[in-house]
Structure 1
């Protein structure tokens, strides 16, 4: 695929007023979500739930793409239409999570590195054939006493860059996600410093690996207070700090930035995105790639009556997509 085609896909992912829904939970992770609401973690239930999300009426009005798990990319709607084909027909780009999760970083207690580069070229080639047009790889950075170390940051940045280069070789737009976790009692200033160091290392690694930034999307965590911090920054401070950090580290040639919710409440994630866009214009489109913040309320309702509440749950999904689509334009009016 040419750089023009990669760039076109990347731009479509951050089209005005649209974002990405993340439904790429592993079988184990979605099992925990299902268990919390009393749903059996069976292949049939996982397929039905993903169908609920992906077939939400008018979803493409506010959703440009969806990140899928391997199992989901191979599944079909109840009518027998492969999910990737259904999505493409609705104007929603199919994406795929390709990392193999985190493992302890040897020699560095409390720190993690993401694995999955072995055999990735062949997996990406297959995913493209199955209909995927972008991919995602998540790195995890913890904040704590004397961490993160430079070694941890550099190891994860290198893996993200190698993954991104392999994606572009196979015609997939890489979404690079270096998540700085909210866990901890650190203040927003500490989060800023760590996020800045992580993003500087990431873009240096992408440059070294000849990754074309025009065909790359950044999935970023917001600069926020640690969830156990005594002082919680308000939406305006989060917006200002996040924008300042991004402007000092992210090249303007990048097609766009989508934010993860990272454990924020549904409304907090929307409010923070809206506040950032009201501070614009910015060098790049700022949108969303939310998972729990898009799904949790709908999952809870669906679980009470999977047949009777199917359509009502879809209404909630659409409402969350609409609200976040408005926030991506800086036009959200707050919760009803």
Structure 2
């Protein structure tokens, strides 16, 4: 797609390959403090920095997690934290052979001139922040854009799609300049009552624009990971598409829009149920494994964290079982990324 090669091109390519190694995916624990606190309050955990640190330690020190999780996306607070005995989370991950990632956008803000749409901010000062994170040990970053579907309002608008795609591409170029692999995350939100055909149309338009903008910003695709939502019915749809249709439409949409040179594709769970997101990923491999030109795996947050958080509830005595629950979800998703998951495992 481009002949431009960043100074650290070989390092970027090797990092991207490690992130989507066979049977592994990426754990997303990059929630902002506010979002994390809300999830804590929902299950009765005190929303403090100490509890956030304990929770991230629980996840990152889960025994054998590295067998299914290649790396984790951290938040700025988390990348600076340590375990209870003083070891940095960065060192915990490095010793397990995992890649350290960092969320670098500053959130989705209202898009001026639009009725309810958002554009993600955070480009100001990003070059300097990336240099600091690279020095700390981060080797990939993440930037999330959100695209809402509202057919009554005519959303998304072309302006929203273009604004977010342009920001993703500028962010990606700055990442590669710093030797950091960019995860680009253009998420089509599952909120709404739209059908799967509408989601497919919007996803195709959005991804086409994202890769057009990456080309214009001289981004090397081999050193990029796409984190995308699945082609799926809105949560409020009256007749939601089944697992096989989601798998088929998602793969077809990606094959139409995503260049084969890309370093890899990972999915966000995006409001899906824990088991639902695993089943969808598995079906894509069972039905289309020989048609995928790039590695296709997961980068889940709540779909891995959820069972652990709900059991832990901030209690030290619950840590071991909570870790086992996180490991189980990571294992099932690792198997799904190989087409080897079965729903019968859930009742075993």
TM-score bin (small chain): over 0.9
1:134-283 equivalences in 2 (<5 Å): 134-144=140-150, 145=152, 146-279=154-287, 280-281=289-290, 282-283=292-293
List per-residue Cα deviations over 1:18-74 (Å, max 9, x = no partner): 000000000000010000001111111000000000000000000001000000000
List per-residue Cα deviations over 1:206-225 (Å, max 9, x = no partner): 00000000000000100000
2:23 aligned with 1:21? no
**Which residue number corresponds to residue 300 of structure 2?**
290
2:55 aligned with 1:46? no
CA positional deviation for 1:78: 1.1
Distance 2:176 2:208 in 1: 21
Kept after mapping to 1: 8 A contact 2:228/2:268: yes
Distance 1:103 1:220 in 2: 20
Secondary structure at the residue paired with 2:227?
strand
List per-residue Cα deviations over 1:67-104 (Å, max 9, x = no partner): 00000000011121110111011011110000000111
Distance 2:285 2:17 in 1: 17
**Which residue number corresponds to residue 55 of structure 1?**
61
Give the RMSD, CA atoms, in angstroms.
0.7
Distance 2:83 2:98 in 1: 15
List per-residue Cα deviations over 1:269-325 (Å, max 9, x = no partner): 00000000112121111100000111111101100x611110000000100000000
List per-residue Cα deviations over 1:246-284 (Å, max 9, x = no partner): 000000011210000001000000000000011212111
Kept after mapping to 1: 8 A contact 2:25/2:69: yes
The number of residue pairs the alignment matches comes to 335
Secondary structure at the residue paired with 1:225?
coil
CA positional deviation for 1:142: 0.2
**Which residue number corresponds to residue 132 of structure 1?**
138
Distance 1:203 1:184 in 2: 26
- In structure 2, the gaps of 5 or more residues are 1-6
Distance 1:32 1:43 in 2: 13
Distance 2:139 2:90 in 1: 10
Distance 1:221 1:231 in 2: 19
Distance 1:9 1:296 in 2: 28
1:115 to 121, 128, 151: 121
Runs of 4 or more consecutive aligned structure 1 residues displaced over 2 Å after TM superposition: none
Distance 1:94 1:5 in 2: 14
- In structure 1, the gaps of 5 or more residues are none
Distance 1:180 1:189 in 2: 13
2:13 aligned with 1:4? no
User: Which deviates more, 1-10 or 316-325?
Assistant: 1-10
- TM normalised by structure 2 equals 0.95
